[in-house]
Amino acid sequence: MNLTDRFLQYVSFDTQSDEETNMTPSTPGQMEFARYLRDELERMGLEEISLDENGYLMATLPANVAASEAAEIPTVGFIAHLDTSPDMSGRHVSPRIVQKYDGGDIVLNREGGIVLSPSEFPELLHYVGQDLIVTDGTTLLGADDKAGIAEIVSAVDYLMSHPEIRHGKIRIAFNPDEEIGLGAHKFDVERFGADFAYTMDGGEIGEIEYENFNAAVAKVSFAGRNVHPGYAKHKMVNSMRIANQFIIMLPRWETPEHTEGYEGFYHLTAMEGTVEKTVLTYIIRDHDRDRFERRKKELEHLARKINHEFPDCCTLEIKDQYFNMREKIEPVKYIIDIAEEAMKDAGVTPVIVPIRGGTDGAQLSFKGLPCPNLFAGGLNFHGRYEFVPIPSMEAAKSTIVEIARIVGTRKR
């Protein structure tokens, strides 16, 4: 099975994760997909294949050099996640291939008037002349991260059929629930047994990411008092109005729609309220740890201001989610050098960019497994306009092969 066919098969599985179930994996489709992958890896002849009750699938491609030599070669890992985003349905995905994209509008769904246009998504113009896989406009595609899984499996398949490429022990892993921030929580780093690894979960071709946001979630609750509106003067306390007051106290321009690069933000992700109670949910993001801590302090300051005007109205809960992996990667920066060299050997221009988000690699790095993130090739994740250029997936596969080859020439 070639890489494209493999990817098209993988996106047929509905693996949308769900943060409300409190289970691991959070949805049954992820385990169904993991079992399919386990059977595929067994047919390929990989070793040390394990699938645990939480949906973590691991396997080994043994070294193809002498045992004495293999013992000196670092074990490299490649990781991707099974789930797709809760932001849009991943059920009954109907992908199609746009051959030799001509640079114009792509009609995804004529009945729904859904068009993928370079006027709204100018990055399309980077891929003129290439074959693109797109959706039918009713679901996401699932390149995040089934492209990564397909690339890893296809690279391992290639290495098995090309024994002239000398390599050490290679570990692969596919985990659930990355999209709800839980992908690394039950990942057994010791059992995985790699010296370092790469998540294949990035975006456009050439991207190398080893800096990500520091991240926290905040729940801000406002207590009100409801009385009949005809007799409410000096009695009613409308929690929704107070919540709105809190919202506009935060810096207007420090939101996702006004920031880029290394700029952090406050992002209001949910609000639910009545006169008597309103709850706001924010995510807090910043690459710089000091600025990140100041953002949390700012929320605390605003909560105190609200309570000064409306005593005992506002309560604030802040929970850290993950931290910037840069501090864990810089001491082993050679793994970034390996990735850059591998990309160049695969004909790809490396582009080091910060992740404006999180990755399983960040949490794994803090668990003792240095794990930068590499491109998987997809764009416009989490929605109906998601697409992936086939040459980008092929380049990611080739990059994995080249990393395996380069690591095979090194010693611990």
d(CA 93, CA 7): 12
Instruction: Answer yes or no: 83 catalytic.
Output: yes
d(CA 318, CA 301): 13
Residue 139 in contact with residue 14, Cβ under 8 Å? no
**Residue 35: φ, ψ to 5°:** -65, -40
d(CA 364, CA 360): 6
Tell me the two tokens of residue 379.
């764009």
d(CA 225, CA 217): 27
Residue 280 in contact with residue 268, Cβ under 8 Å? yes
Instruction: Answer yes or no: 151 catalytic.
Output: no
By three-state DSSP, how is residue 275 classified? Answer: coil
Residue 266 in contact with residue 282, Cβ under 8 Å? yes
d(CA 38, CA 272): 42
H/E stretch holding 387 reads strand 387-389
d(CA 246, CA 181): 27
Starting at the edge strand found earlier in the chain, the sheet holding 277-286 runs: 265-273, 277-286, 214-223, 314-322
For the four alpha carbons of 122, 209, 218 and 54, in that order, the dihedral sign comes to: positive
Q: CA geometry: angle at 396 spanning 390 and 398, to 5°?
A: 105
Active-site option among 14, 83, 286, 394:
83
Residue 171 in contact with residue 76, Cβ under 8 Å? yes
Active-site option among 144, 151, 177, 178:
178
Catalytic center residues: 83, 178
